[in-house]
Structure 1
Amino acid sequence: MAIEPDQLDQSGRELAAMLKRLRRQAGLSGARLAARCHMSQSKISRIEGNKSRPSLLDVEQILRALDATPAVAAEVMALARIAQTEWQDGRALRRKGLDKKQLQLAGLEASSSVFRYFLLSMITGLLATPAYVRASLGDAPADQQAKAAALKLERQRVLFDRSKRFTFLLTEMAVRYPLVPRGELAVQIDHLVSLSRQPNIRIGVLPLGTCLGPGALNTFTVYDEAVATAELDLGAIVFRDNRDVRHLIERFARYEESALFGGEARARLADWAAACRGEL
């Protein structure tokens, strides 16, 4: 089923309104429904007020408690699945200020412990040198660039929290993408080699020619086993449905099996850095 961005924006409100309407049609108060679902009344209130995003299990419990017909249940569950997906429009983010996005990411990083990054075409900000960070913001409004760059660099402190574990998979295209001049790109690649020696960081590389199986590729990140994001040129999609998150974790594991790590990865990165310096 195709899902339009405006559907993603509206689906949470529609789901909340539909669940509230079904409860009223069943003649149940919020307290009675909460008791049937083994939930708190405040949770039911937050769900119906669209102040809390219910999980698919929450929605299934509510529908059973309401004795919803199979047809109604199927309609509500389809809407709930869409509501578990969020579209973050790049243009809207720029209007609000790129610092808001950086603060949002910092919060997600602070609350997560296990990180999986698949980087298809560029190096992520957590691994970037200052020169690379500034270049990555080159198309941002001029008045936002300095603050966004500072926040991106500040976020890198999370890499040194040994209680957190990071795995980064980078394609050769991502590592060698000429976002910055060749000399600066060589320094960026050296930085990857240095970070790969941290005990809580695994950096894997996927040289050109590595077969990753069928299907389109895109950059994505998985935080613990709870949230995943897929990045597009025009924005990002956030997935909270555990089936979507699990699918991306399984895909990541397949890519991981094909990647070079440790000494092999560092040797390949050193070759690419040397090639950049040889082209100066």
Structure 2
Amino acid sequence: MTASPSSAAQAARERLASRLVDLRKTAGLRAIEVAARCGWHKSKVSRIENGRTLPSDADIRAWCRACGADEQIPDLVAATRTVDEMYVEWKRIHRTGIRRRQETDVPLYDRTGLFRVYCSNVVPGLLQTHGYAEALLGTISEFQGTPNDASEAASARLARSRVIFEGRHRFVLLVEETVLRYRIGSPAVAAGQLGYLLEVMSLPAVAFGVIPFTATRTLWPVETFMIFDDERVQVETLSAEINITAPAEVGLYAKAFGELHRMAVYGARARARIAAAIDALG
């Protein structure tokens, strides 16, 4: 069993803290001396060095100057921002509503050549209809207690998904068969979403796979994740979005995707499962 993405984020924070400790020791300073030079309480240095507090850009600059290591500032500031972006709570992301979050991903979607997407719980965002997206995003806003702009956010999600039709990108999208049966929205919304899957899976750039209920599992159902080329993985948990860029960890998700890909069915066999889900709506 692999470590959770949140554990990976904490490990990245601890690696940054270790680099700061190394700077202090190389300078021959005690923690209390760094605190005094920075004008901080000594407990702040302890929290930073133990990975409990993520230092701000200003903290990094003060620390490096106290240790006579100004040349380390750009690299450590960049590392701090990477750690800060790695694990971000949904309530923070959605604090002004969900629409803005859909729009901020547009540059990432535009520059990605190959999308690999696995969803164990909902239809992939790239393939959602407006009705399905609105129902889903409204539920998310209500659960999180954040501003509900579900209709506008759904429109922004569909605008972001235009990459499906541009012809400059390739998509491999996998879902567990259970996803086809979950009732997100009304029966009419569910039927419209399933019908749309039948349409979009015929696009030349799209490979859509369904992992059957009866598949012999070589990998258990895992968290929903997206791989953007070989550069970044976005993982969705109940509480947060995790962004992974470390090559070894990206490779781990690529390996998992390969296992899931081999368990899925495509083409006529996938269509049959979608049709069965439509029939089950009555």
Give TM-score, length-normalised by structure 2: 0.72
Which residue identity lines up with residue 14 of structure 1 in the other structure?
A
Distance in structure 2 (CA, Å) of the matches to 1:156 and 1:214: 28
Alignment correspondent of 2:98: 98
Deviation for aligned residue 1:231: 1.0
Q: CA deviation at 1:84?
A: 9.5
- Equivalent runs, 1:127-142 vs 2, <5 Å: 127-139=127-139, 140=141, 141-142=146-147
- Structure 2 match to 1:14: 17
1:165 aligns with 2:160: no
Matched, 1:230 2:257: no
Deviation at 1:103? Answer: 2.3
Displacement of 1:44: 5.7
Separation of aligned partners in 1, 2:113 and 2:18 = 31
Gaps of 5+ in 2: 29-69
Deviation track 1:170-189 (CA, whole Å, cap 9, x = no partner) reads: 11111221012223212211
Q: State how far apart, in whole Å, the 1-side matches of 2:95 and 2:172 are.
A: 32
* Bigger Cα displacement from structure 2, 204-213 vs 248-257: 204-213
Instruction: Give the structure 2 partner of residue 47 of structure 1.
Output: 75
Cα 1:218–1:131 change in 2 (3 A) is same
Mapping of residues 1-280 of structure 1, within 5 Å: 7=10, 14=17, 17=20, 21=24, 45-48=73-76, 50-51=77-78, 83=83, 86-139=86-139, 140=141, 141-215=146-220, 217-276=222-281, 279=282
Change (3 A) 1:19 1:175: farther
My pick for the range that moved more, 10-19 or 215-224, is: 10-19
Deviation digits for residues 227-266 of structure 1 (CA, Å, limit 9, x no counterpart):
1122111122111111111111111111111111112212
- Partners in 1 of 2:255 and 2:209 — Cα distance? 16
Distance 1:120 1:190 in 2: 19
- Tell me how large the CA RMSD over aligned residues is: 3.1
Indicate if the aligned counterparts of 2:219 and 2:259 stay in contact, CA closer than 8 A.
Answer: no
Cα deviations by residue, 1:189-248 (Å, 9 ceiling, x for unpaired): 110011111000110011212133254522111110111122111122111111111111
Local SS of the residue matching 2:94: helix
Contact kept? 1:16, 1:47, Cα under 8 Å:
no
Query: Match of 1:137, SS?
Result: helix
Q: Quickly say closer, same or farther: Cα 1:97–1:252, change in 2 above 3 A.
A: same
- What secondary structure, in the 3-state scheme, does the structure 2 residue paired with 1:230 have? strand
Q: 1:165, CA displacement in angstroms?
A: 0.4
Q: C-alpha separation between the residues in 1 aligned to 2:262 and 2:127?
A: 22
Mapped partners of 2:132, 2:180: distance in 1: 11
Gaps of 5+ in 1: 26-41, 56-82
Q: Distance in 2 between matches of 1:216 and 1:23?
A: 46
User: Matches of 1:178 and 1:201 in 2, distance apart?
Assistant: 24
TM-score by length of structure 1 reads 0.72
**Which is further off, 181-190 or 135-144?**
135-144
